[in-house]
């Protein structure tokens, strides 16, 4: 696809600028992303951690994603290399520092105020793709200047008035320099996340006395809220400029429902001339449909286990999907990625890159605005180390590794 993106490097207001210096003390305290999860649980207000960490049902979908990744074994070959291999990766005609990206996340500023800005700024420094969700806490227009080289945009279905808002957001993303557009396919029905319900989280965010007590005893979160404000759906403000938080939440509920149909994907394909991805693909036939319509990529995903807890793990569905469309489209995977080992597992089984959501939110909870860049550096270092350890001299040689994958999904062939 064409890539006529205007240069846009002006500083956006209120933008954090994380520094990139290796901090031995930081690495000692948080040598892995899961160690940051433990710290985030202690430092964040209880409701914020429950929001960013929880999933559907009893979190069995999240657990399944983790167990499935852990079960994939990579057979090493020695005597091959003694150097860390390069992992620079090309996605849709652009070079990134590695096959790792920031997954789109709804309302991440509820997990940590200002999350979108911190994630975007860190991704720009790390040279990794950053995806802003339309239901994020930062406007499309702010994302472009903060992450000019790595900005992608994710859109939920906004079907009212013949997709008036959705198509307008696409125009805004184009003007802001978004390189890729992701359409969410895996939210056809609204579902309940029990940990959110039990925590008292509502839309709009209205903290009760218990929540206020938790905020006041969580200094980093409280300071971030004072700086960036109460979590809100920033990109929708243009369409309801005079709405208060309650009215805005109701406005978005009325505008956003269901997930895209294939006819609607085709309509957006006609409108958007840059790379287009369908997110939430879990079956080879759906992957075929997306590619036939003209999608440049797909994201194998279960929405991080946050929609339904009975779905296969994406890593188990990945090989069959990659075998079906991997030579015609870019295949990404998310849901459960927590380490460089997980990234290499995804690449070895057919993905071109892995997207991370919860892990970056844990890093914010543990370290505030310093967290995302530390987490990105960890993932890059771990990915290189794992590749070198198994005898792969480049990210592409991960595909040649012998693998034991007990959970690999076998899909029934379509009836003729």
pLDDT at 158: 96
Judge whether 272 and 2 are in contact, CB under 8 Å.
Answer: no
Strand partners, 403: 74
pLDDT at 104: 96
Q: Judge residue 137's burial from the number of C-beta atoms within 10 Å of its C-beta, 0-12 exposed, 13-18 middle, 19 or more buried.
A: buried
CA distance 308 to 267: 28
pLDDT at 7: 34
Instruction: Tell me the pairing of strands 353-356 and 330-333.
Output: parallel
Question: Active-site residue 303, yes or no?
Answer: yes
CA distance 321 to 155: 23
Instruction: Tell me the pairing of strands 402-404 and 73-75.
Output: antiparallel
pLDDT at 369: 95
Out of 2.30.130.40, 3.40.50.1400, 3.40.50.300, 3.20.20.70, select the CATH number for domain 38-404.
3.20.20.70
Question: Catalytic residue among 179, 303, 374, 405, which?
Answer: 303
**Residues of the chain falling short of pLDDT 50:** 1-13, 416
Angle at 398 between CA 392 and CA 400, to 5 degrees: 95
Judge whether 384 and 87 are in contact, CB under 8 Å.
Answer: yes
Strand partners, 299: 279, 332
pLDDT at 9: 33
The SS3 of residue 316 is helix
pLDDT at 283: 96
Contacts of 280 (CB under 8 A, 6+ apart): 184, 185, 186, 187, 259, 299, 301, 302, 303
pLDDT tens digits, 98-144 = 999 999 998 999 999 999 999 999 999 999 999 999 999 999 999 99
Q: What is the largest CA-CA distance in the chain?
A: 66
pLDDT at 205: 75
pLDDT at 12: 46
Sign of the torsion angle spanned by Cα atoms 259, 265, 268, 274: positive
């Amino acid at each position: 696809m064409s890539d006529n993106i205007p240069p846009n490097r002006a500083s956006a207001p209120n933008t954090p600028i994380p520094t990139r210096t290796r901090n031995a003390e930081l690495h000692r305290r948080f040598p892995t992303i899961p160690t940051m999860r433990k710290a985030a649980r202690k430092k964040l207000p209880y409701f914020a951690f429950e929001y960013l960490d929880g999933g559907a049902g009893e979190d069995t979908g999240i657990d399944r994603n983790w167990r499935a990744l852990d079960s994939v074994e990579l057979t090493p070959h020695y005597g091959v290399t003694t150097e860390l291999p390069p992992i620079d990766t090309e996605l849709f005609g652009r070079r990134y520092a590695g096959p790792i990206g920031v997954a789109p996340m709804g309302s991440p500023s509820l997990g940590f105020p200002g999350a979108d800005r911190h994630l975007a700024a860190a991704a720009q420094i790390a040279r990794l793709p950053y995806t802003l969700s339309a239901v994020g806490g930062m406007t499309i227009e702010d994302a472009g200047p903060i992450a000019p080289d790595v900005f992608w945009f994710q859109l939920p279905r906004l079907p009212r008035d013949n997709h008036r808002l959705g198509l307008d957001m696409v125009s805004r993303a184009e003007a802001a320099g978004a390189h890729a557009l992701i359409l969410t396919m895996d939210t056809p029905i609204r579902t309940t996340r029990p940990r959110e319900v039990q925590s008292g989280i509502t839309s709009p965010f209205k903290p009760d006395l218990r929540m206020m007590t938790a905020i006041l005893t969580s200094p980093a979160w409280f300071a971030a809220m004072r700086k960036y404000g109460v979590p809100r759906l920033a990109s929708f403000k243009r369409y309801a400029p005079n709405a208060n938080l309650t009215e805005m939440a109701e406005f978005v509920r009325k505008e956003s429902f269901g997930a895209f149909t294939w006819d609607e994907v085709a309509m957006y394909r006609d409108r958007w001339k840059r790379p287009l991805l369908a997110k939430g693909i879990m079956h080879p036939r759906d992957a075929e449909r997306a590619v036939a319509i003209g999608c440049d990529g797909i994201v194998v995903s279960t929405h991080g286990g946050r929609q339904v807890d009975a779905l296969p793990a994406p890593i188990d569905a990945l090989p069959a999907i990659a075998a079906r469309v991997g030579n015609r489209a870019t295949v990404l995977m998310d849901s459960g990625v927590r380490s460089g080992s997980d990234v290499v597992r995804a690449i070895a089984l057919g993905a071109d890159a892995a997207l991370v959501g919860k892990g970056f939110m844990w890093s914010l909870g543990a370290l505030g605005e310093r967290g995302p860049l530390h987490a990105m550096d960890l993932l890059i270092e771990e990915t290189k180390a794992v590749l070198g350890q198994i005898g792969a001299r480049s990210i592409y040689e991960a595909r040649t590794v012998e693998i034991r994958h007990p959970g690999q999904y076998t899909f029934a062939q379509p009836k003729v």
